[in-house]
Structure 1
Amino acid sequence: MEKDLNLAVLIDGDNIPSKYVKEMLEEIAKYGNPSIKRIYGDWTKPSLVKWKDVLLKNAITPIQQYGYTTGKNSTDSAMIIDAMDILYSGKVNGFSLVSSDSDFTRLAIRLREAGMTVFGIGERKTPDPFIVSCDKFIYLEILHKTSTEESQSTKKDKISAVDKITPKVIQLILSTIADLEDEDGWAFLGEVGALLQKKQPNFDARNFGFRKLTPLVKSMSQIEIESRKNPKGNGNLIYIRSTA
């Protein structure tokens, strides 16, 4: 994915905890320049007070949206309308939709149909339809760094929240290697990672407790790793193949 994308970051304030904002914006910056940053919600609600403290520090523009009908989330409509306005303005070539709400599934699909790159960010409770409608989906929980002041019990809770590398995950990785392997069974790890992302937008080594894909595959007995000198520059390229 391009690193020079101009991104519109649209945050569902009713649906995302404010404690994630710093790590969330740091993550978004890896994929492009967040030239537009807006958050939507009814700022008269006490539940959004915590957000007010971080908006100025992070240059996020709050968009007021009153709840016209009890039980209905008008924030969704305001965010969707704004997204389409931004799309037609031609000022961005990508969006980051920050929500755990499946109501944004159709929006993500429509933006991608228009040629936009769409990054979804939300909690693990996010429904699958929204996840698979994005080019890449990132769980907020893996971005929230463990504080050095946290108790040991809290750290254990975080460790237990890491996904296990199940047979289904192993098969996904092995089949992806098979899709890309050369005559000797080797596949370039960079291409494997890119194809894994296309197959499963929420695939992320951090979900399994690894910072990168390389240490994840190194932990798997079913995979052999070979480091080769990069013929086009400095450093090495990592190739992998199945031993299963």
Structure 2
Amino acid sequence: MLEEISRYGTPTIKRIYADWTKPTLSGWKNVLLENAITPVQQYSYTTGKNSSDSALIIDAMDILYSSKVNGFCIVSSDSDFTRLATRLREAGMTVIGFGEKKTPQPFISACDKFIYLEILKSSNHDTYSITQKASKPKVKGEPLSKVDKETIQMIIESVNDLADESGWTFLANLGNFIIKKKPDFDPRNYGFPKLLPLIKNINRFYIDERETGVNNIRHIYLKLKE
């Protein structure tokens, strides 16, 4: 997750919240030391209540008002953080969420970008990180889902929305536009490392690679086949 976060910036504050007096969490010590993550102790005062959630929310708001960060990363599959994510975005913060496939849609939609833990192996995501749940994620190598008709239609509509007068759409703009529509969209969910291989697999678009004249950099454009 930290490698994923680094794609977006440098995580300057890293915290994980749990009742560290529980023997089942002793295995986290080396992981936290190796990654310079600060454990925050929260006693489980009442059965069925999660005091860690409240502590995370309070700390997040304190840090928000410190004006020392540009964004937040929340690791949780819990919809209780939906309002927190919404409030942080209202304050102009970028919010990236991590969670399991079971994460409720409201929390996913409240984030600028949401990444499923199942697709992470040794990947790289955000300027600032608060880590919540203290259970190690199960990592799987297979795709989470197939490229369904709904996803294909969303991509087609997005290409049409962004197309210039000649019908061409810049690939980089397309990726950002789709994430605004669907925060949990990620080519890796469908078994593709990047957006372009996914686009090629759909086989509904012409692809044009254009030279920029700068360090052999090419810009990729798409156009819907008639």
- TM-score norm. by structure 1 comes to 0.83
Q: Which residue of 2 aligns with 1:8?
A: none
SS at match of 2:11: strand
| Structure 2 unaligned blocks of 5 or more | 124-138
1:27 is matched with 4
Q: Per the alignment, in what secondary structure is the counterpart of residue 91 of structure 1?
A: coil
CA distance in 1, matches of 2:191, 2:224: 22
1:43 corresponds, among 16, 20, 29, to 20
Q: Is the 8 A contact 2:121 2:141 kept in 1?
A: no
1:107 to 70, 78, 84: 84
1:127 to 104, 107, 110: 104
Q: 2:46: which partner in 1?
A: 69
Partners of 1:186 and 1:165 lie apart in 2 by: 23
Q: Which runs of 4+ in 1 moved over 3 A?
A: 231-234
In the alignment, is residue 89 of structure 1 matched against residue 89 of structure 2?
Answer: no
> What secondary structure is seen at the aligned counterpart in 2 of 1:240?
strand
Q: Which amino acid aligns with 1:46?
A: P
Aligned ranges for residues 135-174 of structure 1 at < 5 Å?
Answer: 135-145=112-122, 158-159=141-142, 161-174=143-156
Matched, 1:226 2:205: no
Q: Which amino acid aligns with 2:147?
A: I
When the two structures are superposed, what TM-score results if normalisation uses the length of structure 2?
A: 0.89
C-alpha deviation, 1:145, in angstroms: 4.9
Q: Which moved more, 1:231-240 or 1:175-184?
A: 231-240
- CA 1:143–1:158 in 2, change beyond 3 Å: closer, same or farther? closer
In structure 1, how many angstroms separate the alpha carbons of the residues matched to 2:64 and 2:122?
33
Q: Which amino acid aligns with 2:99?
A: G
1:192 aligns with 2:181: no
Between the two proteins, the alignment pairs up a number of residues equal to 211
State the one-letter code of the partner of 1:199.
Answer: K
Choose between structure 1 and 2 for higher RCO, CA contacts under 8 A separated by at least 6 residues. 2
Give the Cα separation in 2 of the matches to 1:49 and 1:209. 34
- Structure 1, residues 35-72: CA drift from partner, whole Å, max 9, x if none? 00000000012332232220000000000001111111
CA-to-partner distance for each residue in 1:134-158, whole Å, 9 max, x for gaps? 0000111111259xxxxxxxx9x74
Give, as a single letter, the amino acid of the residue that structure 2 aligns with 1:225. Answer: I
Give the SS at the match of 1:182.
Answer: coil
Find the aligned partners of 2:29 and 2:58 in 1 and give their Cα distance.
Answer: 23
Alignment correspondent of 2:37: 60
Separation (CA, whole Å) in 2 of partners of 1:50 and 1:142: 23
| 1:234, distance to aligned residue in structure 2 (A) | 3.2
Aligned amino acid, residue 217 of structure 2: G
Q: Deviations over 1:109-163 (max 9, x none)?
A: 00000010001011111111000100000111111259xxxxxxxx9x742x431
RMSD of aligned Cα (Å): 1.7
The code of the aligned residue for 1:170 comes to I
Summarize the Cα distance change of 1:78–1:131 in structure 2 as closer, same or farther, 3 Å threshold. Answer: same
Alignment of 1:179-218 (within 5 A): 179-218=161-200
Corresponding letter in the other structure for 1:137: F
Q: 2:57 aligns with which of 62, 70, 80?
A: 80
Q: Structure 1 regions of 5+ residues with no counterpart? A: 1-23, 147-154
How many angstroms apart in 1 are the aligned matches of 2:188 and 2:63? 31
